[in-house]
Homo-oligomer: A and B are copies of this chain.
Amino acid sequence: MLVLITYDVNTEDAAGRKRLRQIAKQCVNHGQRVQNSVFECLLDAAQCRMLQAKLLTIMDEKSDSLRFYYLGKNYQTKIEHFGIKAGYDPQDILML
C-alpha cells in the first residue's frame, strides 16, 4: 500500500534540520521524497509499523508534527501533481 508521510519541523533550527534529514533517510528506503517534507512510501503492514516506530524515535513529539495517510493499493488515480518535480510511480523505485 502507498503511505504518504508528511513531517512538519522548524528547519531554522539545526536540530530540526537534522531530524528532517533522518526522517527522509528512513522514508527513502521505502519510496521517494516528493516534496521537502512529504514522502510517498510503498509498504506492507509490517514494514509500515516498523517505519512508524523508527520515525517516532527520531521526531520530537513536543515540537514536530508527523502525519500518515494510507492511500491503499490503487493509489495511481488518487494523486495529481502540478509544477516542478513531476509525479513518479513509487513501484518503479522498488523494482530497481
Contact = CB atoms under 8 A, between A and B. Distances in A.
Q: Is the interface of A mostly helix, strand, loop or mixed?
A: strand
Interface string A72-96: 0000011111111101000000000
A33 to B, nearest CB: 10
Given A6-B35, A8-B35, A59-B83, A71 B68 contact: no
Q: Please state the number of chain copies in the assembly.
A: 2
Given A6-B6, A38-B8, A83 B66 contact: yes
A13 B65 CA distance: 24
Interface of A: 4, 6-8, 34-38, 52, 55-56, 59-71, 77-85, 87
Contacts of A70: 77-80
